[in-house]
Structure formats: C-alpha cells, structure tokens
A and B are shown apart, each in its own frame.
Chain A
Amino acid sequence: MDFDTGRHGSQRPLFVTGEFEKLVPLDIYPMQLIKACIVGDIEQMENLGIYEVEPEDLALCEFADTSKTEIQAIIREGLEKARKEVGL
C-alpha cells in the first residue's frame, strides 16, 4: 500500500464497533473512553482509564478508524480537561 496523507474519507459518527479493542493492549474500552472524552464526563473518563493512556496509545486506532475521528486530539483535550478540573 502506498501511504499518503489523504484522509480517504470524511468524518462520521463512530459507527463500526470492535475495531479499537484489537489495537489497544491495555485493559480498557477505547471507544467508550473516546465517547466519554467527547461529552466531557470526567468521572466516566476516570473510570474508563483516562489516566492510564496518553494520546499516542490510541494512535493506531486513529489510523484504523472507519469514521476518521481525530482520536488523539480528543484524548488530549480530555486529559487537559481532567487536569484543570481535578487540579493536579
């Protein structure tokens, strides 16, 4: 496969399930974590393991995502938000 920087599609709601779990070695549910970050529910983010990941851990998911979501940016924003609210 020739790689280029094309997105090969446009952004959609998270649609296909089960493709992230294959790509994350951690014992977390990536899709649910991403959704919690999108809605900004900090308690749910903490429960789903926001402190166990950093954006690059989900880089493979971002590569493979059918819906072309910007996952790393979402996780980064989630971490920033958690840091501000919890005051670490």
Chain B
Amino acid sequence: MTLRNFFDKLKPNFSKGGRFEKLSSTFEAFESFAYTPNTITGGEKFARYRGCHIRDAVDLKRTIITVVIALMPALLFGMWNIGHQTSISNGLDWIFWHQIWFGFLRLLPIIAVSYIVGLTIEFLFAEIRHEEVSEGFIGTGLIISMIVPVTIPLWQLALAVAFAVIIGKEVFGGSGYNILNPALLARAFLFFSYPSRMSGENVWIAADLWGTDAITCATPLGQLMSGQPLQVSALDMFIGTIPGCTCETSVVAILLGAVILLLTGIASWRIMLSVVIGGGLMGLLFNTIGANDYMHIPFYYHYLMGGFAFGCVFMATDPVTAAHTNTGKWIYGFLIGVFAVMLRVVNPAYPEGMMLAILLMNCFAPLIDHCVVAMNIRKRKKRWAIAERRNIR
C-alpha cells in the first residue's frame, strides 16, 4: 500500500460527517506535509472565479522548508561544537564522529521538546479555530533549539516554547499576525525567568551525558563584560570553535545559510545589509569614543561574537515581524545593528544585546511602516493636487 492510498483511505473519516471530523486540521497538516494539496485555482466557486488561473509554485511550506535547509549548516556545526567543547574542556581526546554523536545526543532532546510542545499547541489552536495548521512553527521550533545554551533544563524550555507560541503568536491569530518574533520571545522568556541558566560561565558546556552541568567557561562576550581580555582569536570566533549557545557560534556556517536565503530570495538582503552597516557604524563610533577597554575592540569583532550573525541572518529577517516596506526595512535593520552593539557595550546588565535589539525593533516596525506609508500617501496627494491644477488651466 502506498502512502497516497493510505491517505485516500483515511480521508473520509476526517472529512465532514466522518468519525474524526474534529481532527480534520491535523489530518490536512499531515497530508499536505507529504503531498502538495491538490486544490485548483478558484476551487468550489470556479464558475465565477475572476482571478489568475495559474499560480507560482512557491507556497508557505516551501518558504519555511528553505529556511530549515538554510539552518542546516549551523545546526550540524553546532552539534559538532557541543562535543568539541566538552572534549577539550574535559581533556578527552574524542575523535570527530564521537564529538558529533555526543552533540547529537545533547541536541536531540532540546529539538524534540521544542517541536513537540510547540506543534501540539499549534495543532490544538488550529482545531479550535477550524483552520489549517500553519507551517510557521517548523522554522521557529528549530531556531528556538539553536539559540539556547546546551545545558538548558528541558522543562524550562517547554515552558518558554508554550509561552512564546500562546502569548507571542496564537493570541494575535497565529502565524502571520504576530508582532514579536516567537523564537526570540521564547529566548527572552528564559532569559528573564531563569537568568542563571541563560548566561554566566557555567551553562555553555555540556559536562557529559549523564553528569552534572558545571564546567566553567566564559563566552567571548562574557569575558569582555567582566573586563577580562579576549582569550580567543578572531579566526576562532569566525569559524565558531568557541563556547556559546548551541548553534549560533559559527559565522561560517551562518553565512552559508545566508547565501541560501539570499539566492532563493526568501530573506531580505536589505535587512541583512543594514544590520551589518548599523552594527559596524556603532562599533566604529565606540572606537572613536574609546572610554574603556570594551569600546576599543575592533568593530568587526561584534559580527563574530555572540548571536549577532545568527540574529542578523535568521531572526531580523523574519518577514512577519520585520518592517514590511522596503524603506522601512533599511531603517529597521540599521537600528537593530545600532542597538545590538550599544546594548553590548554600554549596558552593564546584559552581555548580549542582539535579542533585545531585535525584539525592541519588532515593536517599532509597525510604526516605521506607518511613517513610510504616510510619506508615500502625502507624496501622491501632492502629485494629484498638481495634476488637478494643470487640468483647471
């Protein structure tokens, strides 16, 4: 029996009047996960359909899957790096595959919890609303597991995911209507609720599979924050063989993802470029002020440390929560870069500023859009006025 036959056989049970009518959204989600929906343009109101009869092949499912593919290099590198960090800090001489396997075993529960909790809530809300399950969480769920420390307790992660999906997304109406990036909201929830598990020196390295999680090692941002000199080189930070959140340390792997996103046109190059410009200018400005040691670090170090690269490529470019207009995207991205570096250097409480910078600008994106659109309206009204005057003459 092929998969297609299997779905066809089950379908009557889940359609209207069937035994499991209430689970129709769930069935539809699995069916459209395996096959493209076979709907045609116009559908039931075909006779008086007035729109395009042909449609482009891209849909939200393909968009999200492209994001997931773009996340793969960072994810694989992250797996290896978890094992690598554990082996060097314990003085173990693990081979490459052992390091990957260790990282895989540590990362798998995090990814599984993130997906299971988030998707359960998504399916539940879809059934309540009698809507189709939206694909948004396929990307979000993976991103959440990539931006937490590897030692995060799973129950805390589950709470954070539930909070992000319910309060961050479903109360507004689901994927596409949210104001804040759900993945970052989950991270912010963890950051403010359980700060001891989200930053400091004891959370970045998984000790061993069943042991305690307490190997002390500061991230580059942590070292700078506490006034120590940087103990890692720029090349290490670029390649990513440093302690940090599970999958956001390697700038190389993230750049590979960025290339995929830009070639396919999924993410906005305007946002990425303007984040980089904003962060760089702010770094240069701090170089000029130079009031303390932190301000003296070269501006490009900010690109290599912490979550700047990951946030710039995968979080700031989330189309729903970013500014919607092209002019707005320049402003939005630029300010993210500026605020991220400013929070890092000036704020004494938080070593990393990228998360808060993006969340802050998520809040301001609608305002930026409003201003850009209002300017466009005013410009066009002026044009009408001129045209009208000419007609009268």
Q: How far is the CA of A28 from the CA of B42 in the complex (A)?
A: 27
CB distance from A40 to the nearest CB of B (A): 17
A12 touches B377 (CB 8 A): no
- List CB contacts (< 8 Å) of B50-72 with chain A: 50-63
Contacts of A47 in B (CB 8 A): 377
Contacts of A64 in B (CB 8 A): 56, 58
B324 touches A63 (CB 8 A): no
Q: How far is the CA of A62 from the CA of B175 in the complex (A)?
A: 20
* Chain B count of residues within 8 A CB distance of the other chain: 47
Other-chain residue from A6, A13, A16, A32 in contact with B177 (beta carbon distance below 8 A): A13
CB distance from A78 to the nearest CB of B (A): 13
B41 touches A48 (CB 8 A): no
Q: Mark B293-326, 1 if CB is under 8 A from A, else 0.
A: 0000000000000000000000000011010111
B376 touches A27 (CB 8 A): yes
B60 touches A9 (CB 8 A): yes
Listed residue (B39, B59, B377) with the most chain A CB atoms within 10 angstroms of its CB:
B59
Contacts of B369 in A (CB 8 A): 32
* Chain A count of residues within 8 A CB distance of the other chain: 39
Contacts of B288 in A (CB 8 A): none
Residue B289 is within 8 A (CB to CB) of chain A in the complex: no
B376 touches A28 (CB 8 A): yes
B324 touches A66 (CB 8 A): no
Residue B132 is within 8 A (CB to CB) of chain A in the complex: yes
CB distance from B170 to the nearest CB of A (A): 13
Contacts of B60 in A (CB 8 A): 9, 12, 15-16, 66-67
B52 touches A63 (CB 8 A): yes
B40 touches A6 (CB 8 A): yes
Q: Mark A1-38, 1 if CB is under 8 A from B, else 0.
A: 10111111110111111100100000111011000000
